[in-house]
Amino acid sequence: MTAVSRQFASPLARRLAAEKGLDLALVAGSGPHGRIVKADVLAAKPGAKPGAKAVAVIPAGGIEAIPNTTLRKTIARRLTESKQTIPHFYLSVDLDLDQLLDLREKLNQRAEGFKLSVNDFIIKASAKALRAIPAANASWTDEATLRYSDVDISVAVAAPGGLVTPIIRRADTKTLAQISLEMKALAEKARAGKLMPEDYQGGGFTISNLGMYGIKSFSAIINPPQACILAVGVGEKRPVVRDGTLAIATLCTVTLSVDHRAVDGVVGAELMAAFKKAIEDPLGLLL
């Protein structure tokens, strides 16, 4: 026995459909919960035959069809594959940024030709943490878990065609000043659409920072074949308890998305602990 689906429509829409000889099963409803309303019937083509493709209702303002670029298609394919095939798990911590911000201000007063950003410190701290916890600097394959000898950090950058991830190679060996200058040059190339394949192919770990947009926290999708991506939120003043006393500190929430096939929960937690220590004791990033 074949089940008959009920069409939800307003009385006026039903009457107009009957007058037009229109099968309501062929009409897409734009009302609450898909309810067919008067405008839907008026927009539908009269004389539609059963079995024909349902009529799509176009909003009054119209629709702009933006062709998908090769880059956009690649991004869509890779992220769909990531979310469908990679067992993500997530680890979040709050970072106290006050010492880092104080150090950054002092260093920028001495700097010539560049200014350090918070993201430069995050790149350096991530690289230092990955060097300390090498088991997290890995990728999964069916044959073997690959562990990288170099610490190459991909950094998500918004470009005209979509998100790209230029790479700071061997970031653990570079100074904050070197990272800052290199990142600025890569970001400019990305926005101009001038990145070369060697600028973005590879990398073992990705950082995605949306703090500049006021986002408090988020969970990023892993960029395959990598096993980890760090999502960075905004630094903001929040109440904290220190030695039993209420105080105000600049805190930032970061969330690590992890591929459980390549990196176990304990390893991910060790990485986040090492990263938090590097951020909250930023003098160590100058060594």
Please give the Cα distance from 275 to 96 (Å, whole number): 12
88 is catalytic: no
Give one DSSP letter per residue of 192-254, joined into a string.
TT---HHHHS--SEEEEE-GGGT-----PPP-TTBSEEEEEEEEEEEEEEETTEEEEEEEEEE
Residue 236, judged by CB atoms within 10 A of its CB (0-12, 13-18, 19+), counts as: middle
Give one DSSP letter per residue of 147-185, joined into a string.
E-SS--EEE-EEETTEEE--EETTGGGS-HHHHHHHHHH
Q: Which two tokens stand for residue 272?
A: 């986040």
Query: How many residues can be counted in the chain?
Result: 287
Catalytic residue among 260, 261, 276, 277: 260
Task: For residue 244, give the 3-state DSSP assignment.
Answer: coil
Q: Tell me the catalytic residues.
A: 260
